[in-house]
DNA sequence: CTGAAAGCGCTAACAG
DNA sequence: CTGTTAGCGCTTTCAG
C-alpha cells in the first residue's frame, strides 16, 4: 500500500500539501498543484491509512454496537438499520459484539472499543446494573442505551432511547380485555431487564384497571444461556406446553416480544390447543415474521428504523461525553396491528366476574 | 487515558520494559520489576492503545464480515457464530457491513477495511463477479468467501467455504418425488447468485433423474431492493399468491431457503391453499423459525456453527494473502429434517406419467 | 502557496 | 536484566 510520502514524491510536492488536499484545504494551493496531487493519488491507488490518522486525531470513524445476540431477528433488524444509517449519514463503520446479556462480556467489549479508539457506542442491554456503562462514559465514551429508561435524578451521562414499554404492556393487555378475556398471563423469560419489568407493570396496571388483578399471572420461562437467540422462542414453546396442562390456564396471554409469542403459539399447537380459539396471544415488536405466522400474530409495532436513526444521531451529535446533559427519548409503539391470534375467550371456560 | 510512558514513570522503569510485559516477554526481567509494572498498570487503569500498536505492527485484531443484510435471520445466525468464535478463540472483534448484494457497497466496505488496517474478512456475497474480491486480495486482504464454489482452475487467492448447494437442491427435490410429486417448482428470487444457480441445477438434475424435466419449473419472484431482509419472505409470499392462481400449478415446491419457504407458505394460506394438503413445501437452512412454523417446515439443515468456525479458522490461519494456495471446503447439509410441510400430492390433480 | 518538523502511543532492535 | 532510539503514516503548526 502506498503512503502519503509516495504520493508527495510522485507529485513532487511535500507531504503536507498532500495532507491538505486529503483534508479539503484545497484553497491553500495552486489549482495545478491540486491536479498533480490528485493524479498521483489516482495513479498510486493511494488510500490514507485510517489508523495513522486516528492516532493523530484521536477520532476513529467507528461505532460500537453491543447486542445480546445478533441472531435474534429483532436485534438483527436494529443492527441493520443502525449500520446502514451510520454508514450513509456519517461514513462510520460498525463493530458489533454479542454479549448474551452478561455483564462481563459487556464490560470487555466496551474495554476493547476504548482500546481501539472507538468513542461512540449503542448499547442494547438493559441489565439493571449499568455501572460498567457509566464507567465507560467516564473514560470518554459517548453511550446511547436502548430499551431502558434513564434513572431519574441520576446524571449518568448516558443517552437513553427506549420504547414505551409500560404503555405497551398496558395496551396489549387492554386489547385482550376488550375481547372479553378475564384470565390473563404475561409470558416472559427469567432475568428481569428494565424493559421487561416495565412491560409487566403495564400488564398488571391494565389488569387492575379492569379489576382483574387476581387473575393476572406472570409466566416465567427459562433461564437460557444464549439469550436473544432462537432460545427465547424455545423458552416460549416450553412455557406454553406447561401452561397448556393447567386446568386454570389463562385464556389471553401477552408475550414479552414476538419471538416469545411465536414460540408460545408453537408450544400451544403441540399441546393440542388452538389459537385464538382456545387461547389468544399478542406479541410486541412487529417483526415481519409475525405477519407470516400461522395464525398471523397480533402485535404492537415498534418504529425500529426511527429508533435506530435516533440512536445513531445521538451517538454522533455529542462531540464528547462531557457535553450537555444526556437525554431520554421515549418512543411509543406505533400501533397495535390486529391479525388472527386474538379472539374472544372460549365459551366453555368459567368466566371470572368483572368487579367494576 | 494513560499511556505506556505514564506507566513507565510510575513503575520507574523504561517504556520498553513495560512493552515487554505487555507482550509477554516477562522472562526478560526480574520478578520484582514485573510486579512493579503490573501494579502501575493496575493503578493507572492502563490499557494499551490498540491503534498505536497496530500502526507499528501492521496487524489489527479486527475481522471484517460482509453480509447482504444482517436483518436476515440466516445471516444473523452466521454472524453470531462468527463473532463469538473470532472473539473467544482469537480475541478478534468484528466489523460488519450490510451490502445488499450491491457490488459498489461491497467494494466500498473492503476499501474501508483496508484503510482501517483490517487484513481478514469473511464475505457472504456470491455475486457472480468477484473481481472486487480478488482486488482486495492483491492489496493484502485474506478473504474467505461463503456460499460460492471456487472457480476451477483460477487461483484467485480466495478461500471458499460453502454448502453443497447442488446436492441440497437435488436432495430436497428427490424428497418431493419420493412422496409422489410430479409437478415440481423451485421458488427463488431474481438475481442469480452462484449458490442459487447450484441449487437450481440440483433441482433440475433430480427432476431429470425421474424423467420429470418437462414438469419442473423455476419460479422467480422479486426483484427486491433490500435483499436478505424480510424482503425475501415477502417475495415468497407474492410468488405463492400468483402461483396459486395457476390451474397447472406445481404440487411440490423447493424453496431456495427457509425464509422464502416461510413466506411462500403464508402466501399459499392467503390464497386459500393448505400445506401440505394442496401443496408441499421444502426449505433449506434449518432456521429455528422453520421448527415453530405452522405447519412446521421440512427443511435441510445446514451446519451453521461448524461453517462459521471453518471460516474464521481459515481467515485466521493464513498469515498473509501470499501464503499457500487458497482452498475450497464444501459442507454437505447435515440432513433433511422431515416435519409437516411435505405430504403426498392432492389426489384430485392429474398425475403426470412417470417416464421411467 | 509550500515545506520542514514535531509528535500521536507503541514496538523492537540494539546497546549497555 | 533494562534503557535508548528509530520509526509506523498521518496531521498540523510554524516558517519560508
| Shortest CA to C1' contact from B58: nucleotide | D8
Least confident of B91-105, B209-223, B231-245, B298-312: B209-223
Distances (CA, A) of A216 to A203, A255, A262: 8, 13, 21
Distance from CA of B96 to the nearest CA of A (A): 6
CB contact under 8 Å between A288 and B55, yes or no, is: no
A262: its cell numbers: 411465536
Output the distance from A140 CA to C10 C1' rounded to whole Å.
Answer: 21
In sequence order, what are the residues at sequence separation of 6 or more whose Cβ sits closer than 8 angstroms to the Cβ of residue A230?
Answer: A71, B287, B288, B289
pLDDT, average across residues A285-304: 96
Q: Does A283 touch chain B (CB under 8 A)?
A: no
Q: State whether residue B233 sits within 8 Å of chain A by CB.
A: yes
Q: How confident is the model at residue A192 (pLDDT cuts 50, 70, 90)?
A: confident
Confidence band for B152, pLDDT divided at 50, 70 and 90: low
Q: CA distances (Å), B253 to each of A136, A229, B212, B213, B270, in order?
A: 52, 29, 14, 14, 17
Q: Between the CA of B296 and the C1' of C4, what is the distance in angstroms?
A: 72
In the predicted structure, residue B87 carries a pLDDT above the cut 90: yes
pLDDT, one tens digit per residue, over B65-79 is: 999 999 999 999 999
Q: Which residues of B touch A293 (CB under 8 A)?
A: 266, 293-294
> Of the candidates B129, B77, B76, which has an alpha carbon nearest to the alpha carbon of residue B98?
B76
Answer with the residue of higher pLDDT: B230 or B111.
Answer: B111
Q: What mean pLDDT do residues A89-102 have?
A: 94
**Could you give the residue ranges of the DSSP H alpha helices within chain B?**
4-11, 15-22, 31-44, 50-57, 73-90, 103-115, 131-138, 165-178, 194-209, 231-244, 258-270, 288-292, 304-317
How far apart, in Å, are the Cα atoms of A51 and each of A96, A347, B118, B119?
19, 68, 10, 13
Q: Helices A304-317 and A73-90 sit at what angle, rounded to 10 degrees?
A: 50
Count Cβ–Cβ pairs < 8 Å, chain A vs chain B: 162
End-to-end CA separation in angstroms for chain A? 77
Judging by beta carbons within 10 Å of its beta carbon (0-12, 13-18, 19+), is residue B216 exposed, middle or buried? Answer: buried
Identify the CA nearest to A118 among candidates A43, A28, A58, A31: A58
The pLDDT-based confidence of A156 (bands split at 50, 70, 90) is confident
Q: Which of A50, A113, A294 sits opposite B116 (nearest CB)?
A: A50
Q: For B335-344, what is the mean pLDDT? A: 96
User: Quick check: helix, strand or coil at residue B187?
Assistant: strand
Of B50, B77, B87, Cβ closest to residue A71: B77
**For the ranges A1-10, A81-90, B47-56, B143-152, which has the lowest average pLDDT?**
B143-152
Interchain CB contact of A292 with B (< 8 Å): yes
pLDDT of A228 over the 90 cut? no
Residues of A in contact with B109 (CB under 8 A): 93
Residue A121 CA to residue A96 CA, distance in Å, equals: 10
Name the grid cell of A154.
441520576
Q: Which residue has the higher pLDDT, A284 or A353?
A: A284
- Under a CB-based contact definition with an 8 Å cutoff, are residues B268 and B295 in contact? no
pLDDT of residue A29: 87
Question: Is the minimum distance from the CB of B15 to strand C below 7 Å?
Answer: yes
A34, closest nucleotide (Cα–C1'): C1
Residue A356 has what pLDDT? 44
Chain C footprint bases within 7 A of protein beta carbons: 1-5, 7-14
Could you give the C-alpha distances from B223 to B185, B236, B270, in angstroms and in order?
A: 18, 11, 21
A95 in contact with B, Cβ within 8 Å: yes
Specify the range with the lowest mean pLDDT, choosing from A105-114, B135-144, B346-355: B346-355
Cβ within 8 Å, pair A291-B98? no
Percent helix, strand, coil in chain B, to 5, is: 45, 15, 40
**Tell me: the pLDDT tens digits for A258-277?**
999 999 999 999 999 999 99
pLDDT at B347: 82
State mean pLDDT over B25-45.
88
DSSP B333: P
Q: What proportion of chain A, given as a percentage, has pLDDT over 90?
A: 64
Chain A 128-147, residues with CB within 8 Å of chain B CB atoms: 139-140
Indicate the helix (H) or strand (E) that contains A255: strand A252-255
Across the interface, do B233 and A266 touch by the CB < 8 Å criterion? no
Say yes or no: Cβ of A50 under 7 A from any atom of strand C. no
Proportion of chain A above pLDDT 70, given as a percent: 92
Of all residues in chain B, the one with the smallest CA distance to A56 is B52
pLDDT bucket at B356, cuts 50 / 70 / 90: very low
Q: Does residue B115 approach strand D to less than 7 Å at its CB?
A: no
The gap between A137 CA and D4 C1' (Å) is 37
**pLDDT (mean) for B157-172:** 94
Tens digit of each residue's pLDDT (9 = 90 or more) over B241-271 = 999 998 889 999 999 999 999 999 999 999 9
Average of pLDDT values for B168-195?
93
Averaged pLDDT for residues B110-132: 89
SS3 B106: helix
pLDDT of residue A215: 87
Please state the pTM of the whole predicted model: 0.92
Distance CA(B347)–CA(B356), nearest Å, equals 21
CA angle B68, B71, B77 (to 5 degrees): 90
Residue A51 CA distance to nucleotide C6 C1' (Å): 19
End-to-end Cα distance, chain B? 77
With an 8 Å Cβ cutoff, is A301 touching chain B?
no
* pLDDT of res. A31: 87
C-beta atoms of B50 and A289 within 8 A: no
Inspect the interface and report whether the beta carbons of A266 and B52 lie closer than 8 Å. no
pLDDT value at A196 more than 50: yes
Residue A280 burial (CB count, 10 A): 27
Inform me whether the C-beta atom of residue B52 falls under 8 Å from chain A C-beta atoms.
yes
Q: Which nucleotide is nearest to B15 (CA to C1')?
A: D3
Q: Rounded to a whole number, what is the distance in Å from the CA of B138 to chain A's nearest CA?
A: 10
A-contacting residues of B 54-73, CB under 8 Å? 54-55, 60, 62, 69-73
Q: Which residue is nearest to nucleotide D13 (CA to C1')?
A: A16
Average pLDDT over residues B274-292: 96
Using CB atoms within 10 Å of the CB of residue A245, give its burial: 0 to 12 exposed, 13 to 18 middle, 19+ buried. Answer: exposed
Mean pLDDT value across chain B = 89
Q: Which of B41, B45, B46, B51 to mutate to test the interface with A (most CBs of A within 10 A)?
A: B51
Q: Closest Cα of chain A to B104: distance in Å?
A: 13
Which residue is nearest nucleotide C6, judged by alpha carbon to C1' distance? A56
pLDDT greater than 90 at residue B240: yes
Return the bridge partners of A95, or none: A64, B95
Write b or e for each residue in A143-152: b if 16 or more Cβ atoms lie within 10 A of its Cβ, otherwise e: bbbbbbbbee
Closest CA to B232 of B283, B296, B278: B283
Chain A environment of B81 (Cβ under 8 Å): 71
Residue A151, pLDDT above cutoff 80: no
- The pLDDT assigned to A129 comes to 78
pLDDT given at position A327? 81
- Mean pLDDT, chain A, whole residue set: 89
Residues 209-248 of B with CB under 7 A from strand C: none
Amino acid at each position: 500500500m502506498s503512503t502519503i510520502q509516495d504520493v508527495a514524491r510522485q507529485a513532487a510536492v511535500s507531504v503536507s500539501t498532500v495532507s491538505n488536499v486529503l483534508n479539503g484545504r484545497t484553497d491553500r494551493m495552486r489549482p495545478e498543484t491540486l491536479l498533480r496531487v490528485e493524479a498521483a493519488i489516482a495513479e498510486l491507488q493511494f488510500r490514507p491509512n485510517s489508523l495513522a490518522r486516528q492516532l493523530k486525531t484521536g477520532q476513529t470513524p467507528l461505532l460500537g454496537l453491543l447486542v445480546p445476540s445478533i441472531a435474534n431477528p429483532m436485534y438483527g433488524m436494529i443492527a441493520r438499520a443502525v449500520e446502514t444509517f451510520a454508514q450513509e449519514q456519517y461514513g462510520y463503520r460498525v463493530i458489533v459484539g454479542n454479549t448474551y446479556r452478561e455483564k462481563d462480556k459487556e464490560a470487555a467489549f466496551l474495554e476493547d472499543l476504548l482500546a481501539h479508539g472507538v468513542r461512540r457506542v449503542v448499547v442494547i442491554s438493559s441489565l439493571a446494573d449499568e455501572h460498567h456503562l457509566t464507567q465507560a462514559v467516564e473514560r470518554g465514551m459517548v453511550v446511547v442505551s436502548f430499551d431502558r429508561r434513564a434513572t431519574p435524578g441520576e446524571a449518568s451521562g448516558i443517552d437513553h432511547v427506549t420504547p414505551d414499554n409500560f404503555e405497551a404492556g398496558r395496551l396489549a393487555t387492554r386489547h385482550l380485555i376488550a375481547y372479553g378475556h378475564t384470565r390473563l398471563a404475561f409470558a416472559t423469560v427469567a432475568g428481569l431487564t428494565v424493559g421487561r419489568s416495565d412491560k409487566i407493570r403495564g400488564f398488571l396496571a391494565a389488569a387492575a384497571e379492569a379489576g382483574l388483578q387476581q387473575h393476572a399471572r406472570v409466566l416465567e420461562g427459562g433461564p437460557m444461556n444464549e439469550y436473544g437467540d432462537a432460545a427465547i422462542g424455545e423458552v416460549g414453546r416450553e412455557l406454553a406446553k406447561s401452561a397448556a396442562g393447567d386446568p386454570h390456564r389463562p385464556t389471553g396471554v401477552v408475550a414479552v416480544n414476538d419471538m416469545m409469542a411465536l414460540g408460545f403459539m408453537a408450544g400451544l399447537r403441540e399441546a393440542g390447543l388452538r389459537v385464538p380459539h382456545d387461547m389468544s396471544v399478542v406479541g410486541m415488536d412487529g417483526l415481519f415474521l409475525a405477519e407470516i405466522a400461522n395464525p398471523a400474530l397480533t402485535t404492537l409495532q415498534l418504529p425500529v428504523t426511527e429508533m435506530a436513526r435516533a440512536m445513531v444521531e445521538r451517538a454522533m451529535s455529542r462531540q464528547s461525553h462531557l457535553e450537555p446533559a444526556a437525554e431520554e427519548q421515549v418512543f411509543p409503539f406505533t400501533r397495535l396491528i390486529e391479525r388472527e391470534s386474538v379472539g374472544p375467550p372460549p365459551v366453555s371456560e368459567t368466566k371470572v366476574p368483572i368487579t367494576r
